Structure 1
Amino acid sequence: MSCCRYRKKDMVGFPAGVKFDPTDQELIEHLESKVMKRAHSLIDDFIPTIEGEDGICYTHPEKLPGVTRNGQSKHFFHRPSKAYTTGTRKRRKIHAETELSNSKNGAETRWHKTGKTRPLMVGGQHKGCKKILVLYINFGKTRKAEKTNWVMHQYHLGDLEDEKEGELIVSKVFYQTQPRQTAAATTSTVLREPSTNGNMEVKMPKSMKIGLTDHAVAAAAAIQMQRQQQQLLKQGDEGKEGQDQLQQKFDHRPAGLEGLIMACKSASTKEGTSTTQPEDEQWPYQY
């Protein structure tokens, strides 16, 4: 593998803080301009070209020029190659010489596609496609393959799901440093409810997280109505008639905290009796 026209410099000629962070649509336009021989005069400083038949997938990302683990993306023009002389399968296995530590343990490092190929629209036209790959360490039959934090976004022109043999494509490589934030990832959910002794925090255990979102909305509404009741009760004799009407209304529904606990217990019971299979494990990182 060789890399042409790559300059080891830190954005010489540009002020500090300038970064190259194009959108998917802009990358497709840069790729199209490169193919059409009308690329920007400085594009090679930002997207170097990887030459050779082995392609970018033959080398571990840490050994690609300019790639680090700081979360910043690096972009490369390159041409994919087939894994075998027959068939259409692309070469995505890291060469053993560039991954000696894993090869000694009988493991291999390989890029695996995740999700579906996505169309990229520019100005209402289907200009190209995008696919996402994640780097795995495979241990054969000894144990389950491990996901790494290395991610690659590949872009090619046209409306076909896969790029053609030898076609110029552009890839964005980066090391994912931040996990995706999800509601299920939180260790506990805290709701605040007023009381006679001041504010009170109610921490819900992990076992009650299932279905909490919908019930928390209902509980919040109950808490709000409880606040209104307390305000009316403080108005004295002047609001006696309104108090009686409001009290009758609340006599037929549980208080905010009680309603929340009942809702969560109901959700927990439904979960215990459900026969549906658990969803597949999701990749906890943003792509």
Structure 2
Amino acid sequence: MEKLNFIKNGVSKLPPGFRFQPTDEELVFQYLKCKIFSSQLPASIIPEINVSKYDPWDLPGNCGEQERYFFSSKEAKYRNGNRMNRTTNSGYWKATGSDKKIASSMTNIGIVGVRKTLVFYHGKSPNGSRTDWVMHEYRLLTLETTTSNSSQNYGNEIGDWVLCRIFMKKRSDSGSMMMKNDYTVMNEARFFDFMSVHNNSAMPPNHSSTSSSCSSSSNFVEVSSYDHEQTSAYADF
């Protein structure tokens, strides 16, 4: 079978109409396992890159794509340690939640995959600000069976590669609607206060209660004060 290569200049480029949407099992046993054991890959679609050398928005490929995939080498954070380096130029990746075990449905080969979820934080640890960037990091481990009770435990990690799926988490529709409503309210407040400044002299006495109720909000007071200063500046000019 001819090996398919869809990588050009370190960036994956699929033909029009094709989508790369592998399952966790396929990523671990069809791609990561083959990469580690130097077997032929189903397709050369996943580029090699050290993910910790880039901020997520600077990684190769189209940032607007839903997901991007990379083979990343295991770079140790400390010279004599096994902990991976997860610090980038602008922030760091922080693990969250529990790891997910990924087993092969085809055969019991004594190998298991593990998916670790990480979130990107902007700034320096431990005071970074959380972002919407998420990474699923896939690893390959040996699966050991104890003779006493036939239970299976994770063994050592295999190989010098991990497989990374990186994407930006979508905001909920309710959150987006709240932001839109807040924006609309602020614009309406600015428009109302602007009109009230210019038409204050012409406003009848029975509108004083409405003006008082609107100025009870600190946000409205700040907007009204800003517009009044701008109006005075234009008048002096």
Distance 1:90 1:175 in 2: 22
Matched, 1:113 2:95: yes
**Letter aligned with residue 31 of structure 1:** L
CA-based RMSD:
3.1
Partner of 1:80: 74
Go from structure 1 to structure 2 and tell me whether the alpha carbon gap of 1:156 and 1:178 turns closer, same or farther (over 3 Å shift): same
Partner of 2:169: 176
Out of 101, 109, 122, the residue aligned to residue 104 of structure 2 is 122
With structure 1 as the length reference, what TM-score do the two structures score? 0.47
Structure 1 segments unaligned to the other structure (5+ residues)? 100-108, 188-287
Deviation at 1:150, TM superposition (A): 0.8
Deviation at 1:139, TM superposition (A): 5.2
Partner of 1:154: 137
Partner of 1:17: 17
**Letter aligned with residue 174 of structure 1:** F
Distance 2:54 2:65 in 1: 19
Distance 1:138 1:149 in 2: 14
Partner of 1:28: 28
Secondary structure of the equivalent of 2:103?
strand
Distance 2:113 2:137 in 1: 10
Distance 2:133 2:17 in 1: 24
| 1:153-181 superposed Cα distances (whole Å, 9 cap, x missing partner) | 011111448846x6111111111224398
Deviation at 1:35, TM superposition (A): 2.1
**Letter aligned with residue 35 of structure 1:** I
| 1:64-97 superposed Cα distances (whole Å, 9 cap, x missing partner) | 11041x35111111212111112332211113xx
**Percentage of identical aligned residues:** 26
With structure 2 as the length reference, what TM-score do the two structures score? 0.56
Go from structure 1 to structure 2 and tell me whether the alpha carbon gap of 1:71 and 1:28 turns closer, same or farther (over 3 Å shift): same
Deviation at 1:135, TM superposition (A): 0.2
Distance 1:59 1:161 in 2: 30
Structure 2 segments unaligned to the other structure (5+ residues)? 1-5, 143-153, 179-237
Partner of 2:197: none
Distance 1:26 1:91 in 2: 26
Matched, 1:89 2:71: no
Secondary structure of the equivalent of 2:74?
coil
Go from structure 1 to structure 2 and tell me whether the alpha carbon gap of 1:116 and 1:40 turns closer, same or farther (over 3 Å shift): same
Secondary structure of the equivalent of 1:115?
coil
Go from structure 1 to structure 2 and tell me whether the alpha carbon gap of 1:162 and 1:78 turns closer, same or farther (over 3 Å shift): farther
Deviation at 1:57, TM superposition (A): 1.6
Partner of 2:121: 136
Alignment of 1:188-267 (within 5 A): none
Contact 1:28/1:156 (CA < 8 Å) preserved in 2?
yes
Runs of 4+ in 1 over 3 A off after TM superposition: 138-141, 159-164, 178-182
